[in-house]
Chain A
Amino acid sequence: EIVMTQSPVTLSVSPGERATLSCRASQSVSSNLAWYQQKPGQAPRLLIYGASTRAAGIPARFSGSGSGTEFTLTITSLQSEDAAIYYCQECYHWPPTYTFGQGTKVEIK
């Protein structure tokens, strides 16, 4: 069973600053890693897939990196509308398990 661990649990960042979120897989998932953003009362939204490819319509301030077991989501120049919970998800295993991390909450200072 694969476990996805995100850190930190909560991140407080000032507007205009950089936010760096981490996701670690308990075993290699190659580059098969996605990031989602979920705002209160809303459905998740796909941000990044393939570890580093932005989904359609996602602003360039969101970027993903990593492979294997260590991944990073970076939000440069944080905006107030970026306050949300961010989840990583592995999409490597088949049959699928689509395991999500527990989420990182990004707060605006």
Chain B
Amino acid sequence: EVQLVESGGGLVQPGGSLRLTCAASGFSFRSFNMNWVRQAPGKGLEWLAHISRNSDVIFHADSVKGRFTISRDNAKNSLYLQMNSLRDEDTAVYYCAKGTVATRPVFDFWGQGALVTVSS
């Protein structure tokens, strides 16, 4: 059974940093691209970052480029999101999502999310 479990969320002050971890199990983690998606309270879904199987292709959304960094460790079956210079508007539930094997992949499995609250 595919499982994605996010951790590392919490309360942080504006300007602070946080690192989210997504622990993957139940599938060959190294064989799939991965993504981070967030959802502000009461709002819709926003894609944040994509990383290929071996980390050679990485993209970030413009809204977080230069502040957030996606990475992975295939030996540890883990996906990360380093978040720096956090702002109030970064308050959201952060999901990791597994990509499908396709030319234009979609997100076929999602974690339950980690809540990040940015507030003074």
Contact = CB atoms under 8 A, between A and B. Distances in A.
Interface of A: 32, 34, 36, 38, 42-46, 49, 55-56, 87, 89, 91-92, 94-103
A36 B39 CA distance: 14
13 contacts: A34-B107, A38-B45, A44-B37, A45-B110, A46-B107, A49-B108, A94-B104, A96-B50, A98-B35, A98-B47, A98-B50, A100-B45, A100-B47
Contacts of A55: 108
Given A34-B106, A43-B95, A43-B112, A49 B47 contact: no
Q: Interface of chain A, helix or strand or loop or mixed?
A: loop
A58 to B, nearest CB: 11
Interface residues of B, number: 22
A44 B45 contact: yes
B80 to A, nearest CB: 19
A5 to B, nearest CB: 12
Interface string B49-91: 0100000000101000000000000000000000000000000
A80 B94 CA distance: 28
B44 A100 contact: yes
Interface in B85-120: 95, 100, 102, 104-113
A100 B46 contact: yes
A38 B93 CA distance: 13
B35 A49 contact: no
B106 A44 contact: no
In order of increasing CB-CB distance, the 3 nearest A-B pairs are A98-B47, A43-B110, A34-B106
Given A43-B113, A46-B109, 18 more contacts: A38-B45, A42-B112, A43-B95, A44-B37, A44-B45, A46-B108, A49-B100, A89-B45, A89-B106, A89-B107, A91-B105, A91-B106, A96-B47, A96-B59, A98-B47, A99-B47, A102-B44, A103-B44
